[in-house]
Chains A and B, each alone.
Chain A
Amino acid sequence: MTQQMKRVSVDIGGTFTDCFVAWGDQQVQAKALTTHHNLAQGFNEALTEACRELGVEVGGLLSQVDSVRYATTLGTNALIERKGPRIGVLVTSGFKHTIPLSRARGYGEGLPEEEQMDIPNAKRPDPIVPIPMIREVRERIDYLGQVFWRLDEDDVRLRIRELVDAGAEALVVSFTNSVVNPVHELRVREIFLEEYPGHLLGAIPLLLGHQVAGRKGEYARSQSTIMDAYLHATMYHGLGTLELNLRGQGYDKPMLVNHNSGGMAQLNSTDALQTVHSGPVSGIAASEHLMLAAGLGNVVATDMGGTSFDIGIVDQGGVKHYDFNPVIDRWLVSIPMVHLQTLGAGGGSICSYDRLFRTVKVGPQSAGSDPGPACYDRGGMKPTVTDADLILGYLDPKNYANGHIPLNPRRARQAFEELCDDLDMELADVAKLVKQTVDANMANGIATELRTKGYEPRDFTVLAYGGNGPLHACGIAEVLGIDRILAPPFSAVFSAVGAGSTNQMHIHEVSTWTVLFDPAQKRFFDDYASFNAHVESLEQRGREDLTRQGFAAEDIRYRLELDMRYGNQRVQTAVVTDLNRVHSQRDVLRLIDQFHTRYGERYGAGSQSPETGIRINTIRVCSYVEQRRMAFGGIQDDGRAGQSVQPVGSRQCHFVGHDQPVDTPLYDESALAEGTRIEGPALVTTRATTYLVEPGWRYYAAAQGAVWFTRGGH
């Protein structure tokens, strides 16, 4: 059945629009430059290229596909460019500066560590909502949801009027403890509609905090709501244009938008904030799907581009890693987002001399893509990782980025001269040191990521994608002691592949004060009805979301996740439980046991403290409909004798651990033919990327353009 899948999935990035089309038993990829003024143009161009390869008309294709799905970094760009409406905010009296003070640490969110440490130079990001656009309202609710200061409706009307007069184009209401009792926020909306009915010209949207984020934490929730309001217009217009474009070309089904929660929904069921980072998160979704389809075991997904290195974890046992308070751009928010760690390491990372330790320092500053590495010859004067890769012989100056960017080796060498003098080392040795350092930095980042979540790197397969992923994968794996790397199929458009592999899903959660075990009273939780009512309510919300989009209730699946903690800990370990209701003390003990197990896996056996009490802080229900996914077959190396491919030439390359340059055979696109085996050292240069097979590693081309790097017994 999967062979007959017809689907278009798209990842609209800051630079490129990636398109992946599954068309029966054919799968093609295409790229075009992102056209920010009208996203449809870039999309049309990429789709046209894909259709040309498939030999079908665009209209014909769109009328036959089951869905068109989008992942996009549009929101990220909007934040960077500060494109959004003027927002007015109503907060609880006494909390006026909670947002601008950003929990004190807001100055450093989203910055590299060394900038966080440089407090004398600290600068908070320019606020999305300036202080004069924040107003307090007299009201207050306590942690249990009890009102102890009734909403002053006159005050509400006055403050709204002030904000509107000050030019607010969108309003946010974010009251303290509204997630446990939203009565005041809801009443503000009624008042707002009384004063400013929706049919009035110039009507402005109003967002309520508790409806955007269901978790406690007044700052993060307010900031989430602000960002949702801020991005709403950009996302709505950007994606709306795309939907209209599709309609005009014969596509009559709902357009689907990928979420950073790892799911997706129709455009009209999507909050703007849910779309931010959905591109990289789709890469994690693709990794998960690939892991399941190809039986890869635990996977660490790595995406190395020009400026950053994203790390994601896929657990074969189904453990989900979310950030409940992720940082988006420079802001801490409150949404369940698939965990993604970003390091400032990429091809553009700048290399400098570390006077203190007499060695080389790589990053966190980056030359980015403009001016880019020195060898791009676009004005960049500082040595970068890509320059080092070129000096080491790994890159083909005439065939980089499919020939789009000619590289100038002389510029690269010049850029390194000062560093060579400082280090008193030869050029090639410095370049090797750079590669070794950047690989180690990324490996350390991966190791910390995995180990803080209770994993060991050696139990993982590295998935390497992004422009520079297959070039540095062996070096990274070497440091981690990992022997298996997979450059996945369609790695150049892997996030788009992921966009085509996600389920329609909605996540709803509620903060709760549920004590499973109270050590002081020696009591176990017994209010099953309230717990089950919460779960039922969350399921109901998910059901409404999905049935509104045309799904039958019986097709909807639910996954119950509980964020639990011992005593007064901060950590909230997410426990996926197979129970969906609690009916007995035995069920309670089972939840406790599941938490105990997961916690022990993460922090070490014996680290659990059940004697200090056990609590559920958040109940979360993921409601989803399983859908057909892309087919991945023949990914595993079946051990067959390799197909022989002849090198197209050779080049002197320098490798870490080798004093002399090594004559390294070069291969072209033909090495992607399924079954090809090559012993390292070797270089395979394709249109999409360069595969560096370091000495001691083996290369195997699996189906669909996937490539394995292995060593030792693997």
Chain B
Amino acid sequence: MDDVKLSAEDKALLDQFLAEHRLFLGPDPEIMRNHTLTERSQMEQAAIAKNPDPHQIHHIRGLINAALSEGFQMVNQMGAAPGAKWGDLVTGVYTAQGDLAMIAPHGIIAFAACCFYPIRFIIKYWVDDPTVGVRDGDGFIHNDARYGGIHNTDQSMMLPLFYKGELVCWVSSTVHEGENGACEPGGLPAAAESKYDEGIKMSPFKVVENFQLKRDLVTFLQNSVRDPKLQLEDMKVKLHAAMRLRERMISIIEQFGKDAFVATLRMHLEDTETEMRRRIKELPDGTTRVLQFMDSSLRENVLQKISLAIHKKGDRLIMDFRGTAPQFMNRSVNTNIASFKAALCTGLLQNVWPDLPHTMAVLSPIEVITDRNTIIDAEGEMPQAMSLMPLFKACVCWTIPMNKLNYSVPHRYSAIIASQYDQAATFIYGGITQHGDATGNFCGDINGNGQGARSHADGEHSISPVFGFMCDSGEHEINEEDTPIIRLGAQRLAKDRIGFGKYRGGMGYEQIATARGSGMWGFMTGCEGSKFPSAQGLFGGYSCPSYQLMKIKGINIFEELDKNPKVVEEFDIVRLMNERPIPGGKYSSNDMGMTFELCNDGEIYMICQGSGGGYGDVLERDPELVMKDLREDLMSHDNAWDIYRVVYDRENLIVDVEATEKARAEERKARIQRGKPFEAFCKDWVTPEPPTDVPYLGSWDDNTETWASIPGMMRVKTPSDQIQGVFMPNPKDVRIAQLEAELEACRGGKG
């Protein structure tokens, strides 16, 4: 076939045949790999050619914002999913070409930043398809992240807006819905080994005609999930919010004209992009780096490297992620590049320049380089139901390298901050409620990540998720009405589990949960950071500690409390695990990647929200701040000495200033004694290859080569541009093999 020479005419005919006979309109790389703004369309060019007044544009922007805010409030109030109730939602408006122009002021940036991919898909494939088409009154639904999205638990409703027969823009509404019919309840199936375990996978399709939901399709979707009530209710909510947005946009167009409206959306994007280039230019030229590690596939412990070098020169900023771990072919912690970029956009706006407009244009001037088929650029059939793992890393990856660049610029747009705790540290649940309803979802505690310390202050305790602001961790009294979960430990700051520093990270809190009154109930946790700390410190600050999942199984705490109310002194994880006060309980400590398991009435599960990273040298911490932490019982006396070297009276917490200075001076000397020249350190520390006894994925020293090293299973080095992916054995098979080997050994090899 290679020898066949095709004429241009023949080639055109073949291309036409292929275009007309596509087997499957899967995710389109041309769409999914492009995060930049499209070129101005003719309509936009014509509108801007009329030289619109920037002040009028600003006025129209205000009106659009008000409308987006109205839509957001509608979804927030009407929505049934916990995500809608606690702020994990957004409303957005897009140009006719699908560029995300503006989002609701309080909306989740990444949701909207992903949504333009499916809109571009609809424009490319459905507009001219005679069996689909895009008409006034249509609405499209979507949830499959492979076509754009954070993960498949989020569902979007997108409406085209026609004015006098012409497509002028798109509006959307997105909610983290939770349950989606996956192999585990709650929409975040860590156990998914292929995309076919992820539940419903909606490529963008038309579910609304004449502004009405098509009942046959709604029924199909309800039939595909565990919570048909939620599916119906929130589809209505999203549709009506989007319809309200559409109505408002039309009213703006009627008042100011189509050109002014179109120019506003476009100029908003272009002005933002210009400002981004201006800010990039303000940064010093150079390269800063950070290495992040994911430590679990949620099925087994394995270190996965995310390598980032930020190169800045002039008004160019390049994010180079080459050297990152290969994708898993049968684990859910991959993400595709489009989702990853959306999370980058979020992180930039949340951690670096929060005053910029929340639009994809902030990322448009940034170049992103990745190796394909890595955990941040997974392709094809790879599962990505727990893409939150790399995506949360993407949200915080900016903090270390960008704050190094930002530190000395003449004008700071926000504070210098260490990394926020970046795990989805919340219970995911599913089963039958005490009211007999099937459900699956997650708790609002996901919104309580501890903040990184700042150059001027301690981090705030559990303040927000890494992906949004003003999100809500909720009220347990209300949650307990809807689900059989009972919180024995609701919000108790995790004593001593701190990212220490001159300023310490904001702390996370313990979550101790059980269930009662359900015939069938269970929990899972999709979390990493049990082996390797999640949040990094800045300029000498400590990372946060690692956090584990603890269980007390085989008991019914309600019966125990009824028998003896003093059986437990307090629901404190450390005390429960150290003292083991509940008789007959099976106590265990586990990593925080727990696939769904049933919880009998009164069994106890315990996890933690985590601390942000610390800032600066611990020996520079104001001793009075140390005393404050002691007074608040956030830290033990041991740490006041071991970490901070503060001398004080334990009874009244009065600092001995002189003795403290002396102790700190001695510690500084001791540090020098312990230190060694950099070259000597490298000689001792640096190895040419990753260790053989640590499960490790990613580059080692050279970013052009990627290692896949799983003890006892594989040890492969591949050129980074030829990665295929890693296939892991079933942990149960591994366990069986281990047990069989042990059995074999017990039998003395006598079979």
A152 and B509 in contact (CB under 8 A), knowing A433-B55, A567-B230?
A: no
* Minimum Cβ distance to chain B for residue A264 (Å): 30
* Minimum Cβ distance to chain B for residue A350 (Å): 16
* Chain A 344-363 interface 0/1 with B at a Cβ cutoff of 8 Å (1 = within): 00000000001111111000
A603 touches B78 (CB 8 A): yes
Within 8 A of A (CB), among B446-480: 447-448, 451, 454, 457, 460-464, 469-478, 480
Query: Which residue in A108, A119, A356 is a CB contact (below 8 Å) of B272?
Result: A356
Closest-by-CB residue of A relative to B473 is: A104
A403 surroundings in chain B (CB, below 8 A):
none
A94 surroundings in chain B (CB, below 8 A):
487-490, 492, 512, 570-571
B721 in the interface (beta carbon within 8 A): no
Closest-by-CB residue of B relative to A98 is: B491
* Minimum Cβ distance to chain A for residue B708 (Å): 37
| A359–B570 CA distance with the chains assembled, in angstroms | 58
* Minimum Cβ distance to chain B for residue A433 (Å): 6
Closest-by-CB residue of B relative to A116 is: B470
* Minimum Cβ distance to chain A for residue B736 (Å): 39
B243 touches A142 (CB 8 A): no
A119 touches B464 (CB 8 A): yes
A452 and B236 in contact (CB under 8 A), knowing A94-B490, A138-B565?
A: no
Closest-by-CB residue of B relative to A613 is: B229
A570 in the interface (beta carbon within 8 A): yes
B54 touches A118 (CB 8 A): no
A96 in the interface (beta carbon within 8 A): yes
| A93–B568 CA distance with the chains assembled, in angstroms | 11
A105 surroundings in chain B (CB, below 8 A):
87, 447, 464, 470-473
B711 surroundings in chain A (CB, below 8 A):
none
* Minimum Cβ distance to chain A for residue B678 (Å): 32
| A526–B24 CA distance with the chains assembled, in angstroms | 53
A440 in the interface (beta carbon within 8 A): yes
A97 and B461 in contact (CB under 8 A), knowing A117-B354, A444-B63?
A: yes
A452 surroundings in chain B (CB, below 8 A):
70, 73-74, 77
* Minimum Cβ distance to chain B for residue A527 (Å): 15
B244 touches A604 (CB 8 A): yes
* Minimum Cβ distance to chain B for residue A280 (Å): 21
A132 in the interface (beta carbon within 8 A): yes
A120 surroundings in chain B (CB, below 8 A):
351, 354, 414-417, 454
A607 touches B240 (CB 8 A): yes
A123 in the interface (beta carbon within 8 A): yes
A676 in the interface (beta carbon within 8 A): no
Query: Which residue in B54, B76, B474 is a CB contact (below 8 Å) of A359?
Result: B54
A142 touches B480 (CB 8 A): yes
A569 touches B464 (CB 8 A): no
B693 in the interface (beta carbon within 8 A): no
A448 in the interface (beta carbon within 8 A): yes
| A613–B630 CA distance with the chains assembled, in angstroms | 49
Within 8 A of B (CB), among A396-452: 433, 436-437, 440-441, 444-445, 447-448, 451-452
A359 and B414 in contact (CB under 8 A), knowing A95-B490, A105-B464?
A: no
Query: Which residue in A113, A117, A436 is a CB contact (below 8 Å) of B55?
Result: A436
A603 touches B84 (CB 8 A): no
A103 touches B475 (CB 8 A): yes
B487 surroundings in chain A (CB, below 8 A):
94
B522 in the interface (beta carbon within 8 A): no
A448 touches B464 (CB 8 A): no
Within 8 A of B (CB), among A673-693: none
Closest-by-CB residue of B relative to A456 is: B251
Within 8 A of A (CB), among B547-569: 558, 561-562, 565-566
A119 touches B516 (CB 8 A): no
B355 touches A117 (CB 8 A): yes
A604 and B243 in contact (CB under 8 A), knowing A150-B565, A217-B477, A519-B229?
A: yes
* Chain A 94-130 interface 0/1 with B at a Cβ cutoff of 8 Å (1 = within): 1111101101110110000110111111111000001
A118 and B355 in contact (CB under 8 A), knowing A95-B490, A216-B481, A567-B229?
A: yes
A136 surroundings in chain B (CB, below 8 A):
570
Closest-by-CB residue of A relative to B77 is: A571
* Minimum Cβ distance to chain B for residue A504 (Å): 32
B243 touches A569 (CB 8 A): no
A606 in the interface (beta carbon within 8 A): yes
Closest-by-CB residue of B relative to A521 is: B436
A77 in the interface (beta carbon within 8 A): no
A132 touches B632 (CB 8 A): yes
A448 touches B78 (CB 8 A): no
| B interface, CB within 8 angstroms of A | 54-55, 57-59, 61-63, 65-66, 69-70, 73-74, 76-80, 84-85, 87, 105-106, 212, 229-230, 232-233, 236-237, 240, 243-244, 248, 268, 271-272, 275, 350-351, 354-357, 414-417, 435-437, 447-448, 451, 454, 457, 460-464, 469-478, 480-482, 486-493, 509, 512, 516, 558, 561-562, 565-566, 570-571, 631-634
| A interface, CB within 8 angstroms of B | 93-98, 100-101, 103-105, 107-108, 113-114, 116-124, 130-132, 136, 138, 140, 142-143, 148-150, 152, 176-177, 179, 216-220, 354-360, 433, 436-437, 440-441, 444-445, 447-448, 451-452, 513, 519-521, 566-571, 603-604, 606-607, 609, 611-613
* 16 further interface pairs, Cβ-Cβ under 8 Å (given A120-B415, A356-B272): A95-B491, A101-B493, A113-B105, A119-B350, A122-B463, A123-B457, A140-B488, A176-B476, A217-B475, A357-B54, A358-B271, A569-B233, A603-B78, A607-B240, A611-B232, A612-B229
Q: Which 5 residue pairs spanning A and B have beta carbons closest together? A: A571-B77, A570-B85, A120-B415, A444-B66, A217-B475
What are 8 A-B interface contacts by the 8 Å CB criterion? Answer: A94-B512, A119-B469, A120-B414, A148-B486, A150-B561, A436-B55, A570-B76, A570-B84
